[in-house]
Amino acid sequence: MLLDLSGVSKDFVSGWFGRRRLTAVSGVSLRLDRGETVAVIGESGSGKSTLGRLALGLLRPTRGRVLFAGQDPARPACGQRNLRKRLQAVFQDADGTLNPRLTARELLLEPLAVHGLLPARPEQTLGALLGMVHLTPDVLARHPFELSGGQRQRIGLARAMSLDPELLVADEPTASLDPSVQARILDILRTLKEERGLACLYISHELHTVRFVADRAVVLYAGHAVEEGGAADVLDAPAHPYTRELVAAARGCPGPGHAPAAPAGPSAARGCPFAADCPEAGAPCLRNMPELRTLTPTHRAACHALA
């Protein structure tokens, strides 16, 4: 097992003397094997990006445990730099992750220089990285603002892959891109998985992309995992009412709809966070938080109506 999140929760405290506490992720468990792609799906505010940052070690969990290759990525230790090399990320905002002062050439070589892996003659390495993401050498002399959005995202992906990581956390890597560019990036991720055995935690609200790249899927609502299983199981036979709503909306047949999920708070912890918007909610849904129930050997959902 490469990545193990066990009962992970993350609280954010604000206000004078920490009087306001918001739980962005609540008791989520997730495992990711080498060469596997697991998608985390849900609407804005569901806790997807926070979960990705916990996996990367950029945030420490308030409760629970995060292990990457048996080590805690959030706690510096001997060999931490080598651990960071094995765990890389691509974020939605390519503009915010690429230094505008550097050229594409400098951006691609920077991670290698930081880790002491810079080759004496980097042209072959640069050519391989550009070929991996379907870019031509003419982009090397350009700054990020001279590149299109799709080119910037692919430079970010090549930059992450320059260190040959074992796990890639891809947080909305195709959002706001043209369909043709989306397809190209998804094809790159699939090829990296097949040829390099790359594991990927793929965070997205675009279900058509999840269907193309993911082996398994986890659905988040208000920080809670409400359904998980094989990607085909979750998308073709959704069991939780919220997942059914997501799938219907993706097909252009939305249901009644609801307000975007707010981070779970102390009051939400007493019952199902989706109860107020669920057409199937009953008295138990308001009193008790449902646990993930096994529907098939590869499919689970947290819903009292499934009891």
Both tokens assigned to 48 = 């997807």
**High-pLDDT (> 70) share of the chain, %:** 92
- Which pLDDT band, with edges at 50, 70 and 90, does 82 fall under? confident
How would you label 266-283 residue by residue, b for 16+ Cβ within 10 Å and e otherwise? eebeebbbbbebbeebee
Q: Is the pLDDT of residue 263 over 60?
A: no
pLDDT (0 to 100) of residue 254: 58
Which stretch of DSSP H or E encloses residue 39?
A: strand 37-41
pLDDT (0 to 100) of residue 240: 95
For the segment 186-208, the average pLDDT, to the nearest whole number, is 94
- Which pLDDT band, with edges at 50, 70 and 90, does 265 fall under? very low
pLDDT (0 to 100) of residue 164: 94
**pTM for the whole thing?**
0.91
For the segment 16-45, the average pLDDT, to the nearest whole number, is 91
Average per-residue pLDDT for the chain: 89
For the segment 261-271, the average pLDDT, to the nearest whole number, is 53
pLDDT (0 to 100) of residue 267: 39
- Which pLDDT band, with edges at 50, 70 and 90, does 256 fall under? low
Q: What is the dihedral of CA 199, 53, 263, 206, to 10 degrees?
A: -40
More confident residue, 157 or 263: 157
112-126 per-position pLDDT tens digit: 999 999 988 899 999
